[in-house]
Structure 1
């Protein structure tokens, strides 16, 4: 929960000394040439005019809001396509940025491109060749979700753990920092953030490995490490880095450090420029099951928390824990918007976040005190959030301590990584919400008999079974919510469970894409559909808007990717195929006249396999391997959602030689398909049998 401000910790981190960009003596500031277009620094502030979109959330406050209003309620009907650019295979679900008339994108495995914003002319491409050097890190994550800009440089994190600064004009790398060990079972998928001459990045991996989360800040000019903040305590016998870690250790039990702990900062990072504070949104425990990692005891700080640290030193300031003793992957790594609101007649500086657990939180960002929290979707895991203690009032057996338990929402989240938006104009937040149900069951799993499966396999220490609630057809919503009154302004049902990131504008509009290929502008006041465009592909990425030569543009990247494709069975109705789906950068403006080619219709057709013979026992073994190793990309039940190929339709499963060359030998590593060299010939035979069985079911009309 919230802890008081610990001023005494401001110098407590035992970390490498900070370095000035030129290696100048401590206390002296080196002069850094201004390499960006005029006024680029001001564009990062929340009150800027919106000419550019230089960060994942446009500004430090991550509001995903632009004050531009040339495209508005009255003119949006004239919005049309100006240019498009076809992308090669690879993750397209990524937030672009724009600075000084140039749009920058990071798609696939951190392949960065620069486009002339007004025309779509490709200026340069930089490919760090991440799959070839990722090793086991390639087994989780799906590529880059976004990039950052600072002083003439574009920053990208790679799957293998590099943070790379690229010259924004030439596309040439300026410096590279290794943010993790070569053999660490960590990876980067989230966007870095740049602030005050530094750039900060975290990592993922707590779902698959025994790792300890952290975030690291680097000098934006040189790549030298400035500070690192660990989010959970390490081995006490080695000493704690600072008093914050010693404090956190008191909330853990047993040999937690052997399990890593988790708490990765894989997505949400916000900079409060006014107080010079970095706000970190931390992830789930490793493993999810607290009975294993902490003997079922303790709050386990700083899991599923918002942690405030000094932006210059990384020293702890305060924290608020969303889910004490988390046991469900209810991480707090969803975007955090900063706002100045009037609450109960008083001005408050707040942080607004809608994490996975289904409650929208308004928190005082100066000290971490909870102001309010209310559910924005159906929540049955907790009755409420106690405003005095800040703790959830949990339902009985919610930690599955007495057997299986079913509740809403799920580890997919009531809100996943596609960002929400806050509009200072309307005072509302707009949330891409998800409404599903989960059953947790750890029957037969104990700390004594659980051993993590190696090689970055999905291994939570509990079995989650996610489903659509009985009798309900709607799985996702766009929710407009008043954070001051904690009431709903309006709610729209969405076509699927996983919809795109949201952008709000000064034109009174809210933009969002969807898995049915629609890209839509809504009236921010009432949710009325004002404009829609057939993108000919699913739209999951968050859009941006900017002004070039007096003309306002909107850019979004179309195509299915990242974790959105995990739940293939829920996306099957949209006909999204990894091989044939379009992946495009789309840019719009008023009176645009561009067109797109027709969408290629897709219905999965099983590969011919005349020699197939059913072997239910082998297939059952193969299913377990698939669920731990393969489903994260190829979809539950081997029904792909567009993130990776649908293996029921692949000729590779018919040929044992081809299958082994791909799975064991790594023939397709450059394409993003990892190598599983530890799988024995028998394992591979069982896995192939399962996939052939699933293909046989598809041939017989039983998808």
Structure 2
């Protein structure tokens, strides 16, 4: 009897076995997301639960990075933006683009496998007034999970894109919306929402059964009306830190971006957002810490019960979110191994927190931050500059409300011991002069409103021009290792690898690779358009690939001036997925085309100064998010200075108030009057003529 196969059969059997292994579906679960030493997949937002955005792959390294070339590109002309974090599992890249449209792409050839459109433009209504797009997905046991801009959580079959279930996570007609990535663990999928800048919103997160979509628990991040009772002891405790009738303003604290699951303690950490409204004099006139705004909140992952919190900005009043990524690491500090969390929120400090108990270990400034002198380690509280709270109506403050670090994810490399952070130097002028803080109410409709005076500017000179950089920071010593300037005021999220490389896309249209220890730029490739999306890396058939989405959404469309100056007019530029590999020899479908909008004018149009002033205010409250500050657009929405539509009141009214372009993503603004629309027209003609004279 032959025990072993013949020499003829052995190669065939080995090949068959290898083929079977290659096509065996990877099971994405707690085991894989806790630790995947192979680096073959990028199955989670930060690759693994620790959110380090570190890959153990080193096939691509400092010694051969010059051989890295383009493998393929996939053009995505049918979506307005691609500012998101992709996933890669078993040779398929998944990402959500535009209005939460999920794509699955064959990573070998760059071919679209399936596309799921939740048809947000048909059902989103006023929620389309936000222009941030989807920031990411989750993968769990053969399913993709996506939060839609209109507030649904949808589970899709990863092979076919067919929905397995869908549930509405918010009230039908409230001002909440979803742009953040879900978090999946222990058979649960958890989702938050945004909206605190657009209405009286009380933040919460909800956990659903990943298999069935049934709600398992919900945790509110700020207390509601005491007369209604409190959901738990944590809300009763938090209510002691608020004053006035805060619940009428919502409170805020939305978890619109970062959540981190910690398998060692079986906890989920929530990064919470700003107050609703920003101005604390309105929402909590007697002061107070206003828990759990701008905090890291630890919950039991299975029950949603409160465990601990650390608040980065007690009683915040500057939009200093703590909704930025929370990275888990083990660090040796003063000779002792500590399980820590690394956190760089908007406020300009880098925090190292003991994640077992939530106690602050250290905190130092990573950019200019004038709102506080330092963080007191003993109490964990900031030593504030009281003048920064604009007690007399106005104050220059650094950083600006967009933050020292926004949602664009940082990375941590255990090999170098460094964190890599896309940072921003900036300042803002906060003023509530002319605002009736005692009787303030949020305007009707989904209007961007903060409780501050829109368009206020300092009298002692212009604000500093914002700049950006890639910062390498040593969290153990709380010191800078290196810093590299990057183009524009924002640059993209970061990836680091065991090959001692740091990858980052930038606003100038490059994907860059830096030496992780020294910061020397070793390689750069043209993307054909600027990007903020973070790259990922993975393997197929033994080869390491790097993929990134590119398409200018500008850091946000609000600051269209910056993207317009760089020549990235979003609606005229490509949106694409690019993949790189060693010895790749692909070419971009078309070279970068830098274009700038040309304002149009009608000489017969007589600008009414009073109407233009009113129109400037109406534009700031309703149009600025998509069409840009000072009416200079940098995203997919048109630059209204250069559009012929505002030349006709009938045409503009039909679109703005009556929803003539709702199916294309332009929501109706029914709360505006015809007079408001006409005033906006006068403002736009005024702006067009100002820029035509330059």
TM class by smaller structure: over 0.9
Preserved CA contact (<8 Å) 1:143 1:158: no
Partner of 2:55: 66
Give structure 1 stretches of 5+ with no counterpart.
1-34
Partner of 2:615: 622
Partner of 2:252: 262
Partner of 2:15: none
The counterpart of 1:480, out of the listed 438, 447, 472, is 472
Q: In the TM superposition, what are the counterparts of 1:160-309 in structure 2 within 5 Å? A: 160-309=150-299
* Aligned mates of 1:191, 1:396 — CA distance in 2: 36
For residues 606-636 of structure 1, the C-alpha deviation after alignment (integer angstroms, 9 at most, x for no partner) is: 1242322222111110000000111111110
Q: Structure 1 residue 693 and structure 2 residue 686: aligned?
A: yes
Question: Does the C-alpha gap of structure 1 residues 371 and 401 become closer, same or farther in structure 2, counting only changes over 3 Å?
Answer: same
* Aligned mates of 1:539, 1:466 — CA distance in 2: 30
User: 1:677: Cα distance to partner?
Assistant: 1.4
* Aligned mates of 2:522, 2:327 — CA distance in 1: 26
The counterpart of 2:40, out of the listed 26, 43, 51, is 51
* Aligned mates of 2:177, 2:466 — CA distance in 1: 33
Give structure 2 stretches of 5+ with no counterpart.
1-22
* Aligned mates of 2:113, 2:457 — CA distance in 1: 44
Preserved CA contact (<8 Å) 1:212 1:230: yes
The counterpart of 1:536, out of the listed 516, 528, 531, is 528
User: 1:296: Cα distance to partner?
Assistant: 3.7
Q: How many pairs does the alignment contain?
A: 667
Structure 1 or 2, whichever has the larger Rg, is: 2
For residues 55-95 of structure 1, the C-alpha deviation after alignment (integer angstroms, 9 at most, x for no partner) is: 11111111111111111111111111111111124121111
Q: Structure 1 residue 397 and structure 2 residue 375: aligned?
A: no
User: 1:36: Cα distance to partner?
Assistant: 8.5
Partner of 1:103: 93
Q: Is the partner of 1:308 in helix, strand or coil? A: strand
User: 1:141: Cα distance to partner?
Assistant: 3.9
The counterpart of 2:552, out of the listed 549, 560, 578, is 560
The counterpart of 1:40, out of the listed 28, 34, 41, is 28
Q: In the TM superposition, what are the counterparts of 1:504-523 in structure 2 within 5 Å? A: 504-523=496-515
* Aligned mates of 2:136, 2:201 — CA distance in 1: 23
The counterpart of 2:408, out of the listed 418, 421, 439, is 418
* Aligned mates of 1:518, 1:360 — CA distance in 2: 27
Q: Is the partner of 1:648 in helix, strand or coil? A: coil
Partner of 1:571: 563
Preserved CA contact (<8 Å) 1:581 1:600: yes
Partner of 1:592: 584
* Aligned mates of 2:395, 2:286 — CA distance in 1: 16
* Aligned mates of 2:296, 2:82 — CA distance in 1: 28
* Aligned mates of 2:428, 2:128 — CA distance in 1: 28
* Aligned mates of 2:665, 2:282 — CA distance in 1: 33
The TM-score with structure 2 as length reference comes to 0.94
Q: Structure 1 residue 369 and structure 2 residue 359: aligned?
A: yes
Partner of 2:677: 684
Q: Structure 1 residue 670 and structure 2 residue 651: aligned?
A: no
Which deviates the most, 467-476 or 380-389?
A: 467-476
Q: In the TM superposition, what are the counterparts of 1:113-128 in structure 2 within 5 Å? A: 113-128=103-118
Question: Does the C-alpha gap of structure 1 residues 141 and 200 become closer, same or farther in structure 2, counting only changes over 3 Å?
Answer: farther
* Aligned mates of 1:469, 1:307 — CA distance in 2: 40
For residues 625-648 of structure 1, the C-alpha deviation after alignment (integer angstroms, 9 at most, x for no partner) is: 000111111110001122422111
Q: Is the partner of 1:567 in helix, strand or coil? A: helix
The TM-score with structure 1 as length reference comes to 0.93
The counterpart of 2:331, out of the listed 341, 350, 355, is 341
Partner of 2:7: none
For residues 141-169 of structure 1, the C-alpha deviation after alignment (integer angstroms, 9 at most, x for no partner) is: 43211111001000111110000001000
* Aligned mates of 2:58, 2:605 — CA distance in 1: 60
User: 1:570: Cα distance to partner?
Assistant: 2.7
Preserved CA contact (<8 Å) 2:427 2:466: no
Q: Is the partner of 2:386 in helix, strand or coil? A: coil
Q: Structure 1 residue 435 and structure 2 residue 429: aligned?
A: no
Question: Does the C-alpha gap of structure 1 residues 562 and 205 become closer, same or farther in structure 2, counting only changes over 3 Å?
Answer: farther
